[in-house]
Amino acid sequence: MQLPLELETEILTRLVLILVTLVVLVVLMRIAQRIARRTVDDPSRVYRANRIIRRVVGLVAVILVITLLSPDLRGLVTVLTVIGAGLAIALREALLSVAGWMRIVLLSPYRIGDRVQIGDVHGDVIDIRMLRTTLMEIRGWVDADQSTGRIVHVPNSWTFERAVFNYSRGFHFIWNEVSFTVTFGSDWRAAREIILGFAEESSTIVGQQAAQEIREMSREFLIHYGVMTPFVYVQVAENGVRLTLRYLCEVRKRRGTEHAFTVSILEAFRAHGGIEFAYPQIGISKPDRSQFIPPEMPPADPTGVAAGDADA
């Protein structure tokens, strides 16, 4: 079915206008971003300026395209209805991500710079866009909470579908545990005092900062910590006495504090002399060689005649 010539001309004209409009907007966006890079020295301010420019240009492009596609008010309503129905069916995940972005902006479950876990992905938030959140991954094949170097893009729809854990929102400390197992014959009481002594030396400043942040968080959340000081739990294990140190540390210093405590405690245990680490042992019993010796055979008859044949 061939369209009338006037309608074909009008459609072609509108498509050309849309293409020219998009090209002009892209050129203007590039110019604005270049001006921002030249006039602003702070990388974080340049980053925010580029985000604002992209969002403004995108919004203007959507408005102009819809306006060019609709010849009058009635046509505008029709175009919006068709677009809305098509988007609702074909772009469900994208629309859900946009709704997730609005939730992030309005409710702020996390911000750029926060350390979060979304579903089973851990990382530091380095970018938040309309459809996705970008993380610098931690953990993975790396122990503790150090970076793997990979960048992970997570759809914003995950904020509705999966749990979101924020390590640093409002409270910039986490509880960490380090365990040491000493033998039953060791002086485990002295070992406990040594471990607790090192932890208490570094807990004064951390405890004061954490208590202040908890007081501020209590204005927004129903949260209360009664004990902020480190503690060493004692437990009987299979091969010795397990001493578990529980202490507060900053979010991004978990592995560093664990390393410092371990080195100091190892040196103190060695200097004490009466503390030994327990480890699994496998015992191998000596085999009973008697079971491998064949039974004695009766002596052979020198005559070569069996005893039963002699009576025959």
Block means of pLDDT (10 residues each) for the chain, 312 residues, are: 60 81 89 87 84 87 76 60 68 85 91 92 93 92 85 94 87 89 93 92 79 76 75 92 93 89 93 88 62 58 52 46
187 and 275 Cβ atoms separated by less than 8 Å: yes
Would you state the pLDDT for residue 86? 67
Q: Is 189 exposed, middle or buried (0-12, 13-18, 19+ CB in 10 A)?
A: exposed
Would you state the pLDDT for residue 241? 95
Q: What is the dihedral of CA 250, 251, 253, 258, to 10 degrees?
A: 90
Domain spans, the chain? 7-90, 109-166, 173-272
Write out the CATH class of domain 173-272: alpha beta
119 and 162 Cβ atoms separated by less than 8 Å: yes
Question: What is the spatial distance between Cα 171 and Cα 169, in angstroms, rounded to a whole number?
Answer: 6
Residue 154 neighbours by CB under 8 Å, 6+ apart: 118, 119, 121, 132, 133, 134, 135
Write out the CATH class of domain 109-166: mainly beta
Q: Is 110 exposed, middle or buried (0-12, 13-18, 19+ CB in 10 A)?
A: buried
230 and 199 Cβ atoms separated by less than 8 Å: yes
180 and 195 Cβ atoms separated by less than 8 Å: yes
Entry field: residues in the chain: 312
Q: Is 195 exposed, middle or buried (0-12, 13-18, 19+ CB in 10 A)?
A: buried
pTM for this model (two decimals): 0.61
Would you state the pLDDT for residue 181? 94
Would you state the pLDDT for residue 310? 46
Q: Give the dihedral sign, CA 73/75/77/79.
A: negative
Would you state the pLDDT for residue 312? 43
Would you state the pLDDT for residue 295? 59
Would you state the pLDDT for residue 68? 74
Would you state the pLDDT for residue 209? 81
Question: What is the spatial distance between Cα 170 and Cα 154, in angstroms, rounded to a whole number?
Answer: 23
Would you state the pLDDT for residue 91? 72
